[in-house]
Homo-oligomer: A and B are copies of this chain.
Amino acid sequence: MGELRKYEDFQGKNRDKLLDRVAEAAELFKETKTLAFPTWLYGEPIGRLFKVEVEDAPNFGDTAYLEMDSARTAFLSIDMQVDFCGKNGYVDVMGYDLSLTAAAIKPIKNVLNAVRGTDIKVIHTREGHEPDLSDAPFNKVLRSKIIGNGVGIGDVPANGLGRLLVRGQANWDIIDELYPIPGETVVDKAGKGAFGSSTIHMILKNLGITHLVISGITTDVCVHTIMREANDFGYWCVLLKDATGATDYGNYEAAVKSIKMQGGVFGNVTDSQRFIQAVDANLKASCC
């Protein structure tokens, strides 16, 4: 009975209230092509509202806009570590072409230049394991050892800077070009994702974040996993497609396309130029 009493009965009120908000926002979208910042939910902006053009939304071929509050937006630079894009790091040892992941460096640098000095928050993530590998699943270490021909997570490769994917090692740290500056935040995580095993829930809450502008490597692995998790918890996500890269170009392309399915099943996609343009036009003049 509990179950029955509940269903459809008293819950209609909340559902209808939400669906009214949704209908209203969908109507506004028709007119403005904008996923507007919902002040009914988050309150008035703390920083400045601005829009970024996103592609293939809601349908492939369409252009739309995502509106954010600068003070509640975080620019996320995921795993730009030597291990994923530098010489003798993890990805290099695994035998992949570094140019694919390194391609993200310049666009990310450009975005950092644009957002530094505004009230957009900058968050960097690093994948890595405790020096004793206590947080590294056996199968993860084993598979890396097999594919690395005897050199996997926790091992030091020939000419390497240190143990692969181990915290505190030079190869594990963020590359010099994109190294955090004072005022930026770093999230350390042991997995591809972060929400189930790091302090990222707290960090995003402490910073008051509602929107995530995502970059980093690799597109189909860590970037996609974090974007999926954040999207599941209701964060508005947008990927900068040129500020990311994968170990395989086809996987990169499909990862980008997959986001756009179902009207944006994991969020939206744009590129660094459009985001920088939006930042420059709206936040640079008078900000902070």
A residues at B contact (CB < 8 Å):
1-3, 5-15, 17-19, 21-23, 25-26, 29, 35, 38, 40-46, 58-59, 94, 130-148, 150, 152, 154-155, 167-170, 172-174, 179-187, 190-193, 195-199, 201-203, 205-208, 220-221, 224-225, 228-229, 231-234, 236, 247-248, 250-251, 253-255, 257-258, 261-266
Contact = CB atoms under 8 A, between A and B. Distances in A.
A191 B199 CA distance: 9
27 contacts: A1-B168, A6-B180, A10-B183, A18-B154, A19-B133, A19-B141, A22-B138, A26-B146, A26-B150, A40-B46, A42-B208, A59-B147, A94-B262, A134-B186, A134-B187, A134-B207, A135-B199, A138-B234, A143-B263, A144-B263, A193-B228, A196-B201, A197-B201, A202-B234, A220-B254, A250-B254, A253-B254
Contacts of A131: 6-8, 11-12, 15
Nearest to A267: B139
Given A18-B136, A170-B1, A251-B258, A206 B192 contact: no
Nearest to A146: B58
A182 B13 contact: yes
B43 A137 contact: no
| Residue from A131, A172, A207, A208 having most chain B Cβ neighbours under 10 A | A131
A133 B15 contact: yes
A254 B147 CA distance: 20
Contacts of A59: 147
A215 to B, nearest CB: 19
A201 B2 CA distance: 24
Given A94-B263, A147-B262, 17 more contacts: A12-B131, A14-B134, A17-B183, A18-B138, A19-B154, A19-B155, A26-B145, A35-B142, A35-B143, A130-B186, A147-B263, A190-B199, A192-B232, A196-B229, A202-B233, A205-B234, A254-B258
Contact of A202 (B11, B197, B205, B253): B197
B258 A221 contact: yes
Contact of A190 (B132, B202, B224): B202
A185 to B, nearest CB: 5
Closest 3 CB pairs of A and B: A147-B263, A2-B173, A254-B254
A276 B20 CA distance: 31
Contacts of A186: 6, 130, 134
A96 to B, nearest CB: 8
A247 to B, nearest CB: 6
